[in-house]
Structures are given as structure tokens and as C-alpha cells.
């Protein structure tokens, strides 16, 4: 029987879709069956007819859920969806396992196989084609640069006109990982004067190679796997004080700082936001229900401070460029499927360095060691290779030697 991949319509507010028609075409060619919930691609400008043309079957939600071998989503599906799933079915998406342990426990209790992109070991080279965090951060960084230029009340580039000269906007990007570097590149292309700031000293070269200035910080905090680590209370206070000066010298501040599995660090304090000059624009890419990088930011909303600065809760930037974001996301999903497909069957090797970390749950167990550590469970050791059985004649030989 063919492997059936189902794609569900996301909750309102999420415009992306987990598979693009292009990837559906390739999967169907490789003997997968693809079910698309009616209207799933509409907000990404992929209509049902395009999926049908690509070889998918458009069905209602209940059929998509119950007939699936694996369900591909962008975000966590709702409880009703999980309730309809059966043991042994798989779910792949951005499932927020590190910050929503109850959801993980529910999946484990139902014996659902859950592959969560947040858990991917991104530094393993084989995993790079599966790296949703990078593909979506790249889209988000580009879009936030454009949105900043659109929101800002002045020109980004220097303009010399008969009516006078306009100074270029000064843009500061806090957090220069994948999203931050894209934001820098976009703001530079739009003509702004750009600087970047990060607590990973390794990012200096990347910022400077884009023609932006790297602001030197006294706080250095590289953690595991090339990520930033969480700062101590003392370091946080030191950083916030240092940033106050940098923020006051800029017109547009784009914040993208994250620490995997934790609340985003607060980089712009209430004091900095309150004292920002009228017309200053803060774009908070880290804004989510967990909090953001800017004090007072609200996801999806624009807040105006009493001084007349604007704080945009820009946590959904990838969803605001839905067709490109979905195209990239779909390729990441396809890369995972290719990796676990063995002769037309999905095989999840829990001891594999990539699959074993991507798996939040399998057969009722919590698999990823990163997730296990957050849940304070003991580390899972790979199974010992079995001793090869000694063939019967060798045993006889062994006896004869006695
Ligand atoms: P991220 O989204 O987790 O964080 C964004 C940025 O915020 C990072 O640059 C981080 O250093 C920075 N940050 C965190 N706390 C901060 C603070 N208090 N102040 C200022 N900045 C802060 O990170 P990301 O963009 O997904 O990736 C970061 C790094 O991870 C990469 O630059 C790279 O080193 C590594 N990475 C490697 C691979 C790979 O090897 N294939 C892929 C992706 C990422």
C-alpha cells in the first residue's frame, strides 16, 4: 500500500501550507498518495485545482486525517485533530515540543509518531535540506526588512533632490543569525545605513561581509551547536544597559534574537522603548505568546509608545510571504520523507543521529535527547549492536578445540 501524506488547512492567521503543488508532483511520481484538505493552499495562492493537476486528491478534513500515514502541517494541529488520529500515524511540522510539553505527552500517550522540526540537529550536514528553521527564518528576515521600510515614516536611502537632501535611515539589527542577516541584506539593498549586533562573536564576519557595521559587545555567549546560550541575570543587565546607547542612535531597530527552546531574551527594555524618539520604529521578529525582544510588543499588533515610537509585533513574517515560505517548507518536508522512506515504507531509525533527534515521540516514548533533557528524563542511549550468533558448526569446532 502506498504511503499517504495528508496536508491540513492551517488555523486562521497562518497563511502557509505544508506542501506545494511542485513537491506534490514529485511525491506522486515517487509512488506516494497525497491528500489535500479542501482549501489548504488557498492562503498561499495555491488553489485546490492546482493540487489536483499535480496528482493529489482533494478531500475533507476528516478523510485527510483518518487516511494518512503521515500528516504534514506548519504548526501544531488543534486537539480535535489529534483526537481523530490513531496510534502509529505520523505527524510532521513545527510542533513546539520544547515549549509545550503537555502536547508532547498527549502525542506520546496516543502513540503518534511526531517529527518536530525544532528538534532537527541543524549542524549535521545531511540535515541541512530538512532545516525548516533556516528556510523560514530566511524568508522572515527578508520580509521584515521590507516591512520596516514600508512602515517607516521616512526614506531608507539617501535622496538628493531639488527639494533638498534626505539622510539615509539608520537601521540596527539585533540578533544576526539566519533571519538577522537576511534583514541586514534587505535593508542594505534598500539603501539604509545598517549595523548588526549579536552575542556570538562568530557572526561579526558575516555581518561585515554584507557591508554592515558590527557593533562590538562586551557580552559573548556562544552555546552548543553554534547557537547563543541563555545569558545570566548579570549579563542580561549589562547587555540591556549597553544596548540603550545603541538603540538611541538608530531610527529603525529590527530584533530577531532567539535562544532555542526558551523565551526570547529581552533586548529593548521598557526604559529604552519609552525614551525612543518620536518616529522610531521597532520591528520585533521574536514577538510571540512567549514574549518578545522588545518590552511591550504584542504579536500581530502595532503599539505606539507615549513618545510616538512604534513597536510592531512581527512574529509572523514567514506567513506574510506565504507562497515562497511554503515552497521552501515543502522541500524540507520532502527531504525528511526521502530520508525515512525505505522501499516504499516509512522506517524511523531511533538510533540515527538525525531521525533520532527529529523524533519527539515514537511508539509512546520520548525519543529526542534534547527534548528528554528539557523534560528532565534520563538520556536515551543507542541500542547496543547485537552480538552475532555463532553458527552451529563453529560451536562444534570450538568444542573440538577443547
Ligand atoms: P536563532 O534564531 O536561534 O537566534 C537568532 C540570533 O539571535 C542568533 O544569531 C543568536 O546568536 C542571537 N541571540 C540570541 N540571544 C541573543 C542576545 N541576548 N543578544 C543578541 N543576540 C542574541 O538562531 P539561527 O539564526 O537559527 O542560527 C544561529 C546560528 O546557528 C547560525 O548562525 C549558525 O551558527 C547556527 N546554525 C548552523 C546551521 C548549520 O550548520 N547548518 C544551520 C542553522 C544555524
pLDDT at 330: 98
pLDDT at 328: 98
Ligand 1: list residues with CB < 6 Å.
122-123, 128, 131, 133-134, 137, 174-180, 198-200, 203, 226-228, 231, 239, 256-260, 265, 267
Give the mean pLDDT per block of 10 residues along the chain (402 residues). 95 97 98 98 98 98 98 97 98 96 98 97 95 97 98 97 97 97 98 96 94 88 79 89 93 91 89 96 94 94 97 96 98 98 95 97 97 96 71 50 38
CA pair distance 278, 268, nearest whole angstrom: 16
CA 176 to centroid of ligand 1, rounded, Å: 7
* Candidate list 67, 84, 189, 227, residue with the active-site label: 227
pLDDT at 290: 84
Is 297 one of the catalytic residues?
A: no
Question: Mapped to the 3 state alphabet, what secondary structure does 47-83 carry?
Answer: CHHHHHHCCCEEECHHHHHHCCCEEEEEECCCHHHHH
| Contact status, residue 329 vs residue 136, Cβ threshold 8 Å | yes
CA pair distance 361, 380, nearest whole angstrom: 12
E-strand ranges in 70-163 read 70-75, 90-94, 113-116, 159-161
CA 67, 29, 332, 313 torsion: positive or negative? negative
Query: Strands 193-197, 159-161: parallel, antiparallel or unpaired by DSSP?
Result: unpaired
Is 134 one of the catalytic residues?
A: yes
CA 242 to centroid of ligand 1, rounded, Å: 20
Q: What is the pTM of this model?
A: 0.93
Take atom 31 of ligand 1 and give the residue whose Cα is closest. Answer: 177
pLDDT at 394: 53
Is 227 one of the catalytic residues?
A: yes
Is 209 one of the catalytic residues?
A: no
pLDDT at 398: 43
pLDDT at 402: 38
Amino acid at each position: 500500500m502506498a504511503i499517504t501524506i495528508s496536508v491540513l488547512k492551517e488555523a486562521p492567521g497562518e497563511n502557509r501550507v505544508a506542501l506545494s503543488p511542485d513537491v506534490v508532483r514529485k511525491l506522486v511520481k515517487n509512488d506516494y498518495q497525497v491528500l489535500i484538505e479542501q482549501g489548504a493552499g488557498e492562503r498561499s495562492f495555491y488553489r485546490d485545482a492546482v493540487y489536483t493537476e499535480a496528482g493529489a486528491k482533494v478531500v475533507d478534513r476528516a478523510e485527510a486525517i483518518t487516511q494518512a500515514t503521515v500528516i504534514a502541517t506548519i504548526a501544531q494541529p488543534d486537539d480535535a485533530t489529534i483526537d481523530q488520529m490513531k496510534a502509529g500515524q505520523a505527524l510532521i511540522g513545527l510542533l513546539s515540543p520544547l515549549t509545550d510539553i503537555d502536547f508532547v505527552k498527549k502525542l506520546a500517550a496516543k502513540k503518534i509518531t511526531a517529527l518536530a522540526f525544532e528538534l532537527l540537529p541543524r549542524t549535521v550536514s545531511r540535515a541541512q535540506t530538512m532545516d525548516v528553521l533556516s528556510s523560514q527564518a530566511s524568508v522572515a528576515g527578508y520580509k521584515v526588512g521590507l516591512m520596516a521600510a514600508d512602515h517607516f515614516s521616512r526614506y531608507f536611502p539617501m535622496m538628493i533632490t531639488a527639494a533638498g537632501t534626505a539622510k539615509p535611515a539608520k537601521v540596527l539589527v539585533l540578533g544576526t543569525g539566519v533571519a538577522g542577516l537576511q534583514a541586514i541584506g534587505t535593508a542594505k539593498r534598500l539603501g539604509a545605513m545598517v549595523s548588526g549586533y549579536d552575542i556570538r562573536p562568530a557572526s561579526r564576519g558575516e555581518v561585515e561581509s554584507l557591508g554592515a557595521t558590527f557593533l562590538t559587545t562586551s557580552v559573548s555567549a556562544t552555546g552548543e551547536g553554534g547557537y547563543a546560550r541563555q545569558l545570566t541575570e548579570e549579563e542580561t543587565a549589562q547587555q540591556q544597559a549597553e544596548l540603550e546607547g545603541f538603540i538611541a542612535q538608530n531610527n529603525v531597530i529590527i530584533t530577531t534574537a532567539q535562544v532555542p527552546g526558551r523565551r526570547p531574551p529581552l533586548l529593548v527594555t521598557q526604559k529604552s522603548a519609552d525614551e525612543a524618539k518620536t518616529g522610531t520604529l521597532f520591528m520585533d521578529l521574536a514577538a510571540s505568546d512567549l514574549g518578545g525582544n522588545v518590552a511591550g510588543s504584542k504579536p500581530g499588533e502595532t503599539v505606539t509608545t507615549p513618545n510616538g515610537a512604534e513597536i510592531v509585533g512581527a512574529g509572523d513574517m514567514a506567513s506574510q510571504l506565504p507562497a515562497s515560505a511554503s515552497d521552501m517548507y515543502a522541500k524540507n518536508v520532502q527531504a525528511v520523507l526521502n530520508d525515512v522512506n525505505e522501499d516504499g515504507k516509512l522506517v524511523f531509525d531511533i538510533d540515527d543521529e538525525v531521525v533520532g533527534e527529529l523524533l519527539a515521540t515514537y511508539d509512546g516514548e520520548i525519543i529526542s535527547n534534547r527534548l528528554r533533557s528539557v523534560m528532565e528524563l534520563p538520556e536515551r542511549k543507542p541500542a547496543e549492536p547485537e552480538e552475532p550468533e555463532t553458527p552451529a558448526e563453529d560451536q562444534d569446532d570450538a568444542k573440538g578445540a577443547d
